[in-house]
Structure 1
Amino acid sequence: MTGAFNDKTQRTSYDVIVIGGGAGGLNAALVLARARRTVAVIDAGEPRNAPSAHMHSFLSRDGVPPLSVLETGRAEIARYGAVLMNGQVDQVEACETGGYVVRLAGGAALDARHVVLATGLRDELPDIPGLRALWGKDVIFCPYCHGYEVRDQPLVVLGVHPASAGQALLLRQWSHDVVYVPHSQPLTDEERERLDARGVKVAEGPVSSMLTKDGRLHAVELADGRTLDCAAVFLFPRMTPNDAAFDGLGCEKDDNGWLVTDRAGRTSGPGLWAVGNVVDSRAQAVTAAGMGAAAAFALNHDLVDEEIERALAEYRAADRSVSPTPAS
Structure 2
Amino acid sequence: MSPEPTHDVVVVGGGAAGLSAAVALARSLRSVAVVDAGEPRNAPAAGAHNLLGREGVPPLELLAAGRREAEQYGAEIVTDRAVTARAGEHGFTIGLAGGGELRARRLLLASGLVDELPDVPGVAELWGRSVLHCPYCHGWEVRGRRIGVLGAGPMSVHQALLFRQLSEDVVFFPGRMADPGAEAWEQLDALGVRVVEGPVQRLRLEGDELRAVVLDDGQEVPVDAVVVAPRFVARADLYEQLGGTLTEHPVGELIATGPMGSTAIPGVWAAGNAGDLSAMVSAASGAGLVAAAAINADLVAEDAAAAVRARAAV
TM-score (norm 1): 0.90
Residue 225 (structure 2) pairs with residue 232 (structure 1): yes
Counterpart of 2:237? Answer: 244
Tell me, what secondary structure is at the counterpart of 1:298?
Answer: helix
Write out aligned runs for 1:189-208 (5 A).
Answer: 189-190=181-182, 191-208=184-201
CA distance, structure 2, for counterparts of residue 185 and residue 280 of structure 1:
25
CA distance, structure 2, for counterparts of residue 84 and residue 259 of structure 1:
24
Q: Which moved more, 1:306-315 or 1:251-260?
A: 251-260
Tell me, what secondary structure is at the counterpart of 2:86?
Answer: strand
1:258: how far off?
A: 2.4
Tell me, what secondary structure is at the counterpart of 1:264?
Answer: helix
Match of residue 124, structure 2, among 126, 132, 143: 132
Larger radius of gyration: 1
Counterpart of 1:160? Answer: 152
Residue 107 (structure 2) pairs with residue 115 (structure 1): yes
Amino acid corresponding to residue 104 of structure 1 in structure 2: L
1:170: how far off?
A: 1.3
Counterpart of 1:325? Answer: none
Q: CA RMSD in A?
A: 1.5
Match of residue 162, structure 2, among 148, 155, 170: 170
Amino acid corresponding to residue 108 of structure 2 in structure 1: V
Q: Which moved more, 1:211-220 or 1:288-297?
A: 211-220
Q: Which moved more, 1:257-266 or 1:80-89?
A: 257-266
Counterpart of 2:259? Answer: 263
1:126: how far off?
A: 1.7
Tell me, what secondary structure is at the counterpart of 2:68?
Answer: helix
Match of residue 98, structure 2, among 79, 86, 106: 106
Q: Is the contact between residue 154 and residue 229 of structure 1 (CA under 8 Å) also seen in structure 2?
A: yes
Cα 1:249–1:12 shift into 2, 3 Å: closer
Cα 1:258–1:180 shift into 2, 3 Å: same
1:12: how far off?
A: 7.1
Counterpart of 2:64? Answer: 71
Q: Which moved more, 1:219-228 or 1:114-123?
A: 219-228
Residue 214 (structure 2) pairs with residue 221 (structure 1): yes
CA distance, structure 2, for counterparts of residue 254 and residue 12 of structure 1:
30
1:211: how far off?
A: 1.4
Tell me, what secondary structure is at the counterpart of 2:300?
Answer: helix
Q: Is the contact between residue 153 and residue 178 of structure 2 (CA under 8 Å) also seen in structure 1?
A: no
Deviations 1:164-208 (A, max 9, x none): 111101111101111110123143332212211222111012111
CA distance, structure 2, for counterparts of residue 201 and residue 263 of structure 1:
43
Q: Is the contact between residue 240 and residue 246 of structure 2 (CA under 8 Å) also seen in structure 1?
A: no
CA distance, structure 1, for counterparts of residue 241 and residue 288 of structure 2:
24
Residue 150 (structure 2) pairs with residue 184 (structure 1): no
CA distance, structure 2, for counterparts of residue 165 and residue 147 of structure 1:
16
Write out aligned runs for 1:313-328 (5 A).
Answer: 313-318=309-314
Write out aligned runs for 1:10-159 (5 A).
Answer: 13-95=6-88, 97-159=89-151
Q: Is the contact between residue 12 and residue 109 of structure 1 (CA under 8 Å) also seen in structure 2?
A: no
Amino acid corresponding to residue 40 of structure 1 in structure 2: A
Deviations 1:294-319 (A, max 9, x none): 0111111110000000000001111x
Q: Is the contact between residue 118 and residue 228 of structure 2 (CA under 8 Å) also seen in structure 1?
A: no
Q: Which runs of 5+ in 2 are unaligned?
A: none
CA distance, structure 1, for counterparts of residue 176 and residue 106 of structure 2:
43
Match of residue 273, structure 2, among 267, 271, 277: 277
Amino acid corresponding to residue 308 of structure 2 in structure 1: L
Equivalenced residues, count: 307
CA distance, structure 2, for counterparts of residue 305 and residue 187 of structure 1:
54
Tell me, what secondary structure is at the counterpart of 2:185?
Answer: helix
Amino acid corresponding to residue 277 of structure 2 in structure 1: S
1:231: how far off?
A: 1.1
Amino acid corresponding to residue 265 of structure 1 in structure 2: G
Q: Is the contact between residue 39 and residue 83 of structure 1 (CA under 8 Å) also seen in structure 2?
A: yes
Q: Is the contact between residue 10 and residue 104 of structure 2 (CA under 8 Å) also seen in structure 1?
A: yes
1:255: how far off?
A: 4.1
Deviations 1:223-281 (A, max 9, x none): 11111111100111011110111113233543444222113001121110000101111
TM-score (norm 2): 0.94
